[in-house]
């Protein structure tokens, strides 16, 4: 008999690519993860993982088992949801991980709405970048992620996750006040090819959006300054350190007196934001109201 707990460990190893990283995500020791993998291999009668200097990868037998593990774990989430509904499920704690702008734009308004319509649900919020929050959901560190589309993100049909679209927003150009294009009504990304750039660190989903926008315009941006804090990005632009592309919502309620903000003349890069839960958990009586409140908060933003 295959234990579901070991299937979860197998999936974590496949996601993180190393036993050490999987163990850290699951709050286990590496030796405990290795023991559980060995027990799973004994249960199935197949070698499931291969170790190398680069980490761990699944064997063909491991890939077969992983596909079934995703279905089994999703069904267990559904079972927990139905049991919670049977027991009323009107009170409990839901943990939401979101990037900072998402917290301000949709998570905080959702909390206000939930206080009125579902007072028994307590929401705990953690600040996490859009790529990190999805991993936190899969590792059961949080219940709901507010995340961003990025290069390498799980696809919309990923069997591990259920996604709820929230909103999409364009990036605007942020320029120093004395920039040669400061008087233009709109700015083309290609016209910024020769400028120094300010942007998020690699690994941040917005970094991918900026780099791809520049690649589509025919150049590689010369990123001279890096920060994941858009207030810092705007401050650097105001000091004439370079130009930047910033999501429009991140500029709300920010002091922009030292910079020039212009919409883009060509097809603007877009930040697409969604909420995600583990597949099968979308109808959980605690999670469903939170997802609904997030979706309604996003719709209210227009």
Task: pLDDT tens for the chain, 302 residues: list them.
Answer: 788 888 888 898 888 988 889 889 888 898 898 888 888 888 888 888 888 878 888 899 888 988 888 888 888 888 877 777 656 667 788 999 999 889 999 999 999 999 998 888 899 999 998 778 999 999 999 999 999 887 777 888 889 999 999 999 999 999 999 999 999 999 999 999 999 999 999 888 889 889 989 999 999 999 999 999 999 999 999 999 999 999 998 898 898 999 999 999 877 788 889 999 999 999 898 999 999 999 999 999 86
pTM exceeds 0.85, yes or no = no
User: What is the rounded distance in angstroms from the CA atom of residue 232 to the CA atom of residue 230?
Assistant: 5
pLDDT of residue 166: 96
Give CA–CA dist 109/96, Å, rounded.
13
| CB-based contacts of 155-161 (< 8 A; 24+ apart in sequence) | 158/279, 159/67, 159/70, 159/71, 159/74, 159/279, 160/11, 160/70, 160/73, 160/74, 160/278, 160/279, 161/134, 161/137, 161/276, 161/277, 161/278, 161/279
Is-contact 123 297, C-beta < 8 A?
no
Tokens describing residue 229: 């804090």
* pLDDT (0 to 100) of residue 86: 59
| Structure confidence at residue 302 (pLDDT) | 65
What does the block give as tokens for 244? Answer: 């930047």
Which has the closest alpha carbon to 287: 160, 139, 142? 142
Please choose, from the candidates 247, 231, 227, 279, the residue with its C-alpha nearest in 3D space to the C-alpha of residue 11: 279
To the nearest 10°, report the CA torsion of 92, 95, 96, 100.
120
Give the integer Cα–Cα distance in Å for 13 and 186: 47
Residue 161 to residue 15: CA distance in whole angstroms: 13
Rg of the chain (C-alpha set): 22
- Which 3 state secondary structure label does DSSP give 175? strand
Pairing of strands 161-175, 244-247: antiparallel
Q: Is 133 exposed, middle or buried (0-12, 13-18, 19+ CB in 10 A)?
A: buried
């Amino acid at each position: 008999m295959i234990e579901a707990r070991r299937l979860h460990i197998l999936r974590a190893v496949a996601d993180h690519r190393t036993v050490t990283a999987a163990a850290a995500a699951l709050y286990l020791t590496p030796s405990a993860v290795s023991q559980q993998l060995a027990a799973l291999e004994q249960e199935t009668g197949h070698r499931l993982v291969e170790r190398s200097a680069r980490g761990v990868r699944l064997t063909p037998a491991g890939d077969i088992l992983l596909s079934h593990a995703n279905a089994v774990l999703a069904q267990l989430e559904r079972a927990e949801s139905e049991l919670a509904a049977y027991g009323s499920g009107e009170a409990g704690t839901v943990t939401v991980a979101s990037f900072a702008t998402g917290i301000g734009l949709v998570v905080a308004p959702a909390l206000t709405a939930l206080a009125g319509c579902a007072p028994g649900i307590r929401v705990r919020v953690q600040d996490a970048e859009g790529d990190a929050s999805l991993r936190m959901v899969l590792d059961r560190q949080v219940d709901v992620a507010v995340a961003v589309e990025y290069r390498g993100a799980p696809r919309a049909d990923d069997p591990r996750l259920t996604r709820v679209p929230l909103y999409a927003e364009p990036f605007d150009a942020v320029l120093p006040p004395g920039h040669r294009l400061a008087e233009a009504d709109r700015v083309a990304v290609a016209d910024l090819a020769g400028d120094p750039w300010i942007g998020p660190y690699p690994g941040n989903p917005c970094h991918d959006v900026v780099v791809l926008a520049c690649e589509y315009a025919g150049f590689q941006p010369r990123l001279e300054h890096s920060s994941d804090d858009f207030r810092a990005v705007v401050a650097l632009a105001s000091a004439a350190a370079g130009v930047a592309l910033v999501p429009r919502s991140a500029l709300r309620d920010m002091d922009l007196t030292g910079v020039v903000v212009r919409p883009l003349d060509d097809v603007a890069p877009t930040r697409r934001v969604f909420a995600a839960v583990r597949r099968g958990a979308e109808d959980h009586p605690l999670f469903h109201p939170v997802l609904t409140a997030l979706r309604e908060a996003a719709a209210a933003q227009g």
